[in-house]
Structure 1
Amino acid sequence: MCTVLIRIGSLADGGWPVEVFQDHEETQARHSGWLHKPEVDGARGGTAEFAAARSVLRHGPYDPQRADQARRLLLGLLESSGVLTAWKAISKSCSHPGALRTLVEAADPVWSELPWELLELPGSLPGGRDSRLGHAVHQRLRSLAPVHRPLRVLIVLGSPTDQELRSEAEVAAIQGALRGHPGEWHVEVLRGPSSVEFYDTVTKIRPHILHFIGHGGLDLYGRTVLRFRGEDEDQEPWHLTAQDIRVQLPADTLRLVVLHACDTSVEDRPDASPILSPIAEGFLAIGVGALVTMQGEIASDLAVHFSAALYQALAQEQPVDEAVWSARKALARRGNGFDDRDWALARLMLAAWPHRVLHRAPGGDREQAAGLFAIADTRLHLAVDRAAERRELFGGFTPFEPYGPRRRLTVVRGGADTGKTFLVRSCLLSWHLNGGRTAYVDFNDEGRTRDWLGAVRHLCERVGQEVGADSREALAEFRHRLVHRRRGQSPPGGPPWLQDDGGPWEPEADAVWPYRNAELLFGELLQALAACAGPNRRLTLVLDGLHGLAEGALADFLMPHLIEPVLADQESPLRLIVVEDDGAQERARLPRPSRPHPVVHLEGFRVRELRHISGEHIVACQVHDEVRGIPQHEREERSALLQEIWQPCIKGNKPTTSPNMLALLEKLVETRSGH
């Protein structure tokens, strides 16, 4: 992709110096000239027209004729300075003429506040059908380090009870856009948080993307603020200032900020600067790579569509400028297209190269990962994705360990159908996509009971399948040792290695010293698994389906000889996640380990979460009011089902039974999809 950088300097000698550069690292300008603000009696209408151009997107009814005048004014200024000629020449020289990235860097608000988004870029429609336009805020854009999955998104609803904002619809649109990419995104939502809750959550999550939906304005001291009002009437309203952002927010991970903040304080100030610019400057001051704001008030339903298109593009790993342009085009497809101002309202400010803002770190193969971690008949991705529990299973994000959990043993516990399996698989997928080595072991996958030796064999089989060629030699040697240990023999060296014939543990193995060969075999298993992890790597094993183990297999063998040694060895590259059912029989319950370990407990969904979860599911199934053409009988049937879900919980005002709710939601899917 070709990059054109138009750099407008500070006022000097009655004009503004302007330079045109090509590509990222170019230091020699392709063109140098001067820009001059039109005089009152100038040929292009003077300062009145110049001021009108600045406000054309901001306030009052949109006038396509005024927008066209602003566009022609900008083109005229660029043409008189020679910039347009240089711009066109670079565009024609691109190997892919349609792929043109244009960055405008203007130190003076006289130029930075003009509606550059309205420009008709060389060889394109207004705004550049195949072009990307952003505003550079530094003389040298930064190249940020890659980020590890999952990309963390914190959505903050400043005024969740304000129905006109349609903030819940926007949340659902964002989650729907990311739903098809399990393991790659971690989304948490704050609804009208207190100041303490907001700062604590930002510190815990360390988001890559902060998305604010709410109101902006001025406080009593004339400072620009983002306003917060909770769902509880007793909660004290508060606001966030630019200084709060600079002092209170962590500056190490935040890459992109999206501000959908409707401002009601400038209706009588049509020539004022964009009200959120100090807030934007606050975020840029702490090192944010890119920031998306609105130059004027955008209708809430259009903000929903903008966010859906933006996050769909980001999920496809499009550079942030291309993602913003995809969202602009999505708005242009609605209503009167480019004759409305909505498509041009979004302004992208860049402090880093757009392709580096959310650039993913290299890792595991995505297609292989999709096959390894697929769950049959799973459609309720976010309903069981439990953001807080995922964060706990990851071991937190301060700092985040991208290749496996920080703790050597974690127990995931909960009732039936509360989403334990999807929770651990989604975390495994994140670690795998980062390049970590992982294996999911379900001891009940074939519906038969396994003794301890069958469990060991099954574990090796799963590690071999999921880790692949890098595990082949270590597991082949271990199977060779298993053949001899089960017969009570000392394993000879190799290769060649004997293949496991699947035979039972023979009495001779315990004839001299009961369980000694089993202890030695587990020690050799740990060595083989450590070799499968590779140098300076981790191997994360999930042990699920414990009810598929025979009596004593867990308590007498796996616990003392596999789990306890990993827990005790601080240098071990192995990480274990054990999944346990609350109501499991004694043989399927993990004995109390000798050392402390974290437990992630999944409970039923609570009443206050029910509407949000159902809403996510309805969007996922395309069963919502904004989908046109839904027959009336389907709407009535859907409404009846939702009442069946909600009413028992609302009447009792206590936690719902998760299996019943999920079953009803599955029924809801069937009414829409016909499955």
Structure 2
Amino acid sequence: MTDAADGSLIASNHDGFDTSPLEHEGVQVVPSEVLSRESLLNSPLLEYVGDTLWERLTPGAIGAAVEARIGDSRIYLDLRSKALNDYPWELLRHDGFDLFLGAAKICLGVPRAARGPLAGTPPELEHPLRVLVVIGNDPEDDLIKAEEELFKIEAAAHLKNEEILLKTLLRPNPEDVQHALAGFRPHVLHFIGHGGVVGEGAGPDFRVYAAATGQNDVWTAGRIRNVVREAPPRLVVLNACSTGLAPTASASLVEAFLDAGCIAVIAMLGDIRADSSHALSARFYRSLFEGQSIDQALMSARLTVKELAAGQETDSIAELHSNWPLPRLTARGDVGAVITVEPLPGFARRWLREDYVARWDERWNAWRAMDGTNSYLALVTGNADVGKSALLNAIADIGARHGDCVIKVDVSRSVAPTGSSWRDVLVRIAQAAKAEHLTDELEEIASQPGESGPVIAAFQAKLAAAVGEGRLLIVLDGLSDWEENVVDDILLQQLCGPYLTGSTAASPIRMILATDKGWEVLKGPQGWTRTAVGPFPEEEWARAVMHVEAYWKSRLPVAQHEGVDRFAAAARISPRTGKSLGLLRDGALNLQSGS
């Protein structure tokens, strides 16, 4: 056993672990079968196994050394044999307490592991946190209810809208998964679907149903090692039955992901119920996004599953209660540093609505378009009322949380009814820069006599100088309302163009703007694409309305929930746009104000 903080040895047993048979009430216990559906319902058996494992793990002086560290250190169990790995360590008990339910910081693995020669490199921890959800069950399969689990993961992400970028692959083709791993570079990969062991002595697999072909695509350990090492996530969560089991290390899905370069894997040691898996995901991601480490978040999720039966009317209360030991966390690295979502001191949302939901692909496309890989400018396009301005607001707060100084300027005619010159736009940007305490010299430059080209170049140079070593994000909305000759001939080419092409003067600065016009004059470099915002996809629309509905129900008294239901019902049959969600919001606000 080692301490995660400094890698120091806590205790070792050179005499070997006592592997003599376990026997409970005169019946021999097979370690690998303790977490079967039937055995999980036998509480006395589970307590006996947990107590016995502790006694065997910590004999004599070893127990004293370990006990002194419980609660203060994160303890790793470094299991180096198949026989040891088969024991249900998640049941460990000491003095009547379940250690994996919070009595200790304990997990399986090693805190400092050398990377294998063929392992890939996971992405650095950076803001925003990227989570890839792969849904792999047949849509006719009613057992898993994958969309319900996705809804719960999204709900956790919406609480941290400025922190998280989520991408969902709904029953994808194999190449879609590989493309997302390489292009999205997720920090977390979460799989929802079926897993298991087919045939005696066979290794486990999980299956991704491809909607395009109607076929299951099977992922085995060998395939994972070959494919995932090209772009390994930091954390993999396999919320599928029996994905944590394996007859050998080479056949283990968990070992395969770790060999490919992932730092930690959560997989299931048996058959987990759909309601238990939904509760597990909901609590795990809410805790993770709130800043808990992955082992702490999993502990919170286990506790939620253990208490899941409370208040429910079901014939399976004991079974619901029993699924908590099934998820196993295995790590090759510091568990406390695999995923970290740390609050930014002084950060507060300014533009992003609390009930802003979905639009995950659009958020990512806009963020990637201006990340400097191909360009520093993102262009959001779409018809009126689809939700372009709301997306710009989201990107503004994501940028602010990212550490950018954000200048947000709305020059739409409803906000800025006067002005028709390119100088008026510069003045509005200058005023916003002054309000953000960036510089107070821009307005004077904007008012200088001369042609647009030299004035705008001087304006950009002063902006870059004011930013210095920092970062600036300019969010420009409403430009479509202005005269086309002013926009096309001057502002797009001279003001926005340098950020699109990534010129030296513009490099510390990023810009995002929106339009419902063509703006074909903006031709980006190779690899740059516009971010199109259209009607919500049908399956996303249903969840979007549910999320907004749930948000307002959580903030209004129960007596007003029926009114929210009416507005939500109207939204479901309305055009799938941001305007329709806005009408749902307005209705809820009217209920809140009593009007």
Q: Give the CA deviation at 1:287.
A: 1.2
User: Is contact 1:224-1:275 (8 Å) kept?
Assistant: no
Compared with structure 1, are the counterparts of its residues 640 and 422 closer, same or farther at alpha carbon in structure 2 (3 Å cutoff)? closer
Q: Report the equivalent of 2:585.
A: 666
- 2:425 is the alignment partner of 1:455: yes
Q: Report the equivalent of 1:599.
A: 530
- 2:209 is the alignment partner of 1:229: yes
Q: Give the CA deviation at 1:407.
A: 0.9
State how far apart, in whole Å, the 1-side matches of 2:145 and 2:331 are: 28
Q: Give the CA deviation at 1:170.
A: 0.8
Q: Give the CA deviation at 1:609.
A: 3.5
Output the amino acid matched with 2:402: N
Choose the corresponding residue for 1:392, options 365, 378, 389.
Answer: 365
Output the amino acid matched with 1:52: V
Q: Report the equivalent of 2:313.
A: none
Q: Give the CA deviation at 1:256.
A: 0.8
- 2:467 is the alignment partner of 1:533: yes
Gaps of 5+ in 2: 116-120, 311-316
Q: Report the equivalent of 2:46.
A: 67
Choose the corresponding residue for 2:146, options 167, 174, 185.
Answer: 167
The C-alpha deviation readout for 1:621-670, integer Å capped at 9, x for no partner, is: 458xxx9x978x956x777666645557xxxxxxx452564255436756
State how far apart, in whole Å, the 1-side matches of 2:425 and 2:128 are: 31
- 2:390 is the alignment partner of 1:422: yes
- 2:125 is the alignment partner of 1:147: yes
Q: Report the equivalent of 2:543.
A: 612
Q: Give the CA deviation at 1:156.
A: 1.2
The C-alpha deviation readout for 1:172-199, integer Å capped at 9, x for no partner, is: 1111111121221111112221222222
The C-alpha deviation readout for 1:48-101, integer Å capped at 9, x for no partner, is: 97743442223424200111110221122134353211111234xxxxxx4442
Q: Report the equivalent of 1:189.
A: 168
- 2:240 is the alignment partner of 1:307: no
State how far apart, in whole Å, the 2-side matches of 1:425 and 1:63 are: 53
Q: Report the equivalent of 1:158.
A: 136
Q: Give the CA deviation at 1:145.
A: 7.8
- 2:384 is the alignment partner of 1:412: no
State how far apart, in whole Å, the 2-side matches of 1:256 and 1:60 are: 30
Compared with structure 1, are the counterparts of its residues 103 and 560 closer, same or farther at alpha carbon in structure 2 (3 Å cutoff)? closer
Aligned-pair RMSD on alpha carbons? 4.0
Q: Report the equivalent of 1:501.
A: none
* Superposed counterparts of 1:44-123, under 5 Å: 45=23, 51-61=29-39, 62-80=41-59, 82-91=61-70, 98-121=71-94
Compared with structure 1, are the counterparts of its residues 84 and 526 closer, same or farther at alpha carbon in structure 2 (3 Å cutoff)? same
Q: What secondary structure is seen at the aligned counterpart in 1 of 2:297?
A: helix
Output the amino acid matched with 1:374: W
Compared with structure 1, are the counterparts of its residues 139 and 58 closer, same or farther at alpha carbon in structure 2 (3 Å cutoff)? farther
Greater CA drift, 611-620 or 659-668: 659-668
The C-alpha deviation readout for 1:302-350, integer Å capped at 9, x for no partner, is: 1111111111111112111111111112223333799943222221111
State how far apart, in whole Å, the 2-side matches of 1:132 and 1:28 are: 16
Compared with structure 1, are the counterparts of its residues 350 and 50 closer, same or farther at alpha carbon in structure 2 (3 Å cutoff)? farther
TM-score (norm 2): 0.83
The C-alpha deviation readout for 1:245-292, integer Å capped at 9, x for no partner, is: 1111244450111111125999xxxxx859997111111111111111
State how far apart, in whole Å, the 2-side matches of 1:598 and 1:264 are: 38
Q: What secondary structure is seen at the aligned counterpart in 2 of 1:262?
A: coil
State how far apart, in whole Å, the 1-side matches of 2:482 and 2:103 are: 59
Q: Report the equivalent of 1:257.
A: 236
State how far apart, in whole Å, the 1-side matches of 2:26 and 2:134 are: 39
Compared with structure 1, are the counterparts of its residues 87 and 348 closer, same or farther at alpha carbon in structure 2 (3 Å cutoff)? same
* Superposed counterparts of 1:491-530, under 5 Å: 509=449, 515-516=450-451, 518-530=452-464
The C-alpha deviation readout for 1:386-415, integer Å capped at 9, x for no partner, is: 22222322236xxx94xx674143321112
State how far apart, in whole Å, the 1-side matches of 2:464 and 2:417 are: 28
State how far apart, in whole Å, the 2-side matches of 1:611 and 1:418 are: 16
State how far apart, in whole Å, the 1-side matches of 2:254 and 2:123 are: 22
State how far apart, in whole Å, the 2-side matches of 1:86 and 1:185 are: 40
The C-alpha deviation readout for 1:440-473, integer Å capped at 9, x for no partner, is: 221247443234333222201222334x4xx33x
Compared with structure 1, are the counterparts of its residues 609 and 394 closer, same or farther at alpha carbon in structure 2 (3 Å cutoff)? same
State how far apart, in whole Å, the 1-side matches of 2:591 and 2:238 are: 34
Output the amino acid matched with 1:224: P
User: Is contact 1:414-1:420 (8 Å) kept?
Assistant: yes
Structure having the higher Rg: 1
State how far apart, in whole Å, the 2-side matches of 1:594 and 1:202 are: 28
Compared with structure 1, are the counterparts of its residues 88 and 34 closer, same or farther at alpha carbon in structure 2 (3 Å cutoff)? same
User: Is contact 1:132-1:321 (8 Å) kept?
Assistant: yes
Gaps of 5+ in 1: 1-5, 7-20, 92-97, 267-271, 486-508, 510-514, 584-588, 649-655
Q: Give the CA deviation at 1:612.
A: 3.3
Choose the corresponding residue for 2:302, options 328, 333, 345.
Answer: 328
Q: Report the equivalent of 1:440.
A: 408
State how far apart, in whole Å, the 1-side matches of 2:128 and 2:553 are: 25
Q: Give the CA deviation at 1:125.
A: 4.8
Compared with structure 1, are the counterparts of its residues 320 and 122 closer, same or farther at alpha carbon in structure 2 (3 Å cutoff)? farther
Q: What secondary structure is seen at the aligned counterpart in 2 of 1:416?
A: coil
Choose the corresponding residue for 1:563, options 460, 476, 496.
Answer: 496
Q: What secondary structure is seen at the aligned counterpart in 1 of 2:36?
A: coil
Output the amino acid matched with 2:531: V
User: Is contact 1:417-1:659 (8 Å) kept?
Assistant: yes
Q: Report the equivalent of 1:3.
A: none
State how far apart, in whole Å, the 1-side matches of 2:502 and 2:282 are: 46
Q: Report the equivalent of 1:381.
A: 356
Compared with structure 1, are the counterparts of its residues 606 and 560 closer, same or farther at alpha carbon in structure 2 (3 Å cutoff)? closer
TM-score (norm 1): 0.74
Q: Give the CA deviation at 1:353.
A: 0.5
Compared with structure 1, are the counterparts of its residues 35 and 582 closer, same or farther at alpha carbon in structure 2 (3 Å cutoff)? same
User: Is contact 2:173-2:211 (8 Å) kept?
Assistant: no
State how far apart, in whole Å, the 2-side matches of 1:193 and 1:115 are: 34
Compared with structure 1, are the counterparts of its residues 673 and 528 closer, same or farther at alpha carbon in structure 2 (3 Å cutoff)? same
Q: Report the equivalent of 1:498.
A: none
Q: Report the equivalent of 1:489.
A: none
Q: Give the CA deviation at 1:560.
A: 4.7
* Superposed counterparts of 1:283-362, under 5 Å: 283-335=257-309, 340-359=321-340
User: Is contact 2:225-2:259 (8 Å) kept?
Assistant: yes
User: Is contact 2:196-2:204 (8 Å) kept?
Assistant: yes
Compared with structure 1, are the counterparts of its residues 241 and 74 closer, same or farther at alpha carbon in structure 2 (3 Å cutoff)? same
Q: Report the equivalent of 1:464.
A: 434
